[in-house]
Amino acid sequence: MTAVMIDLQGTEITSEERELLAHPAVGGVIYFSRNFTDIDQLHELVRQTRAAARNPLILAVDHEGGRVQRFREGFSKIPAMGAILTHANSREDAQHCAQELGWLMASEVLAMDIDISFAPVMDMNGVSEVIGERAFAKDAEHVTLLARSFIKGMHQAGMKATGKHFPGHGSVKADSHIAMPVDERSWEEILRTDLPPFIELANCMDAVMPAHVIYPAVDDKPAGFSARWLQHVLRAQLGFKGVIFSDDLAMAAATAAGTMPERAIAALDAGCDMVLACNDRAGAKAVLEALEPRFTEAHKGANRCYEHLAKCAGLGWQTLRNHPRWHQAQLLLERFADGS
């Protein structure tokens, strides 16, 4: 069963959004910085979101650390993943840092009753400015090593992990938010440089988010709209059995697949389990209208994504703040703050 993830406009749910949350195709909500002012407000917004929904929801956020951390005030300041190797004293220390940061990030998000943060980034820190230090490293060996540890920490906290942006966004310069990136490299080069983390961690990842990037050596469609990438490579060759999310259908690179409804249908037909229709309310409504015939009464409430990714019981916010591991993590963060 497929589903749509939508966004909210502000810090409280509007009457229009209550109607959208009652739509049979809505299976998730993603939060952004505009949805957050403080801990208590966010907790209430999450409660309202779940209460208004017709279906069980996957609640998500991009809370990677560094410049991509949607919740700030009251939350731990997670460093960019690219800072780990810079500040680590050894390979083992880097793995420990990655694991503890994964646990800390996931524990704080779970304490808000949010199921997943779309993390970790498994791209290379190559020529892409939109990726940059969001990536763990410039090479596949270190990305794989640290992503594995970060995922281990997330799992210890009770959160499922989403690897992104398959098969790799770091080696193409254009930003898919505002342009259509085309990676002209050969299949052999992509396989050698960008794919290894996804290959090595296929059994560790619970979900994958493909890139809005065209790789002409493999397909003329962006990866998130390509059955060749999602079904032949990711599912068949890599053996990935988890959930596939589209990246945001409102991004400029997604326009290669047509209108918002056409993008949603193309992504779902290619193999995505849930599509993100965000930052374009009219487009999201059009997507829901177009997909409604797929959601018969017999499928009411069915949501493979929820069944696979719904969070385990996390610690409450105050309990977490009193946890010895949380306090140890705060000491770890001081290393990143003072550059030691």
Higher pLDDT, 340 or 239: 239
pLDDT (0 to 100) of residue 303: 65
Give the sign of the dihedral formed by CA 303, CA 108, CA 247, CA 99: negative
- Give the three-state DSSP class for 65: strand
pLDDT in tens, 7-51: 999 999 999 999 999 998 999 999 999 999 999 999 999 999 999
Burial, 226: exposed, middle or buried (Cβ in 10 Å; 0-12, 13-18, 19+)? buried
Which entry of 43, 87, 96, 177 is annotated as an active-site residue? 177
Judge whether residue 301 has pLDDT over 70. Answer: no
By the 8 A CB rule, do 1 and 299 touch? Answer: yes
> Is 7 tagged catalytic?
no
Average confidence (pLDDT) over 234-238: 98
Judge whether residue 297 has pLDDT over 60. Answer: no
pLDDT (0 to 100) of residue 295: 72
In the structure, what pLDDT confidence band is assigned to residue 300 with cuts at 50, 70 and 90? very low
pTM above 0.85, yes or no: yes
Judge whether residue 215 has pLDDT over 60. Answer: yes
In the structure, what pLDDT confidence band is assigned to residue 258 with cuts at 50, 70 and 90? confident
Mean pLDDT for all residues in the chain: 92
Which entry of 62, 206, 247, 248 is annotated as an active-site residue? 247
> Is 63 tagged catalytic?
no
Judge whether residue 339 has pLDDT over 60. Answer: no
Average confidence (pLDDT) over 119-135: 94
Average confidence (pLDDT) over 207-221: 95
Enumerate the H helices of the chain as residue ranges: 15-21, 39-52, 83-87, 91-110, 140-157, 187-193, 196-200, 227, 260-270, 281-291, 304-309, 317-321, 324-338
pLDDT (0 to 100) of residue 256: 79
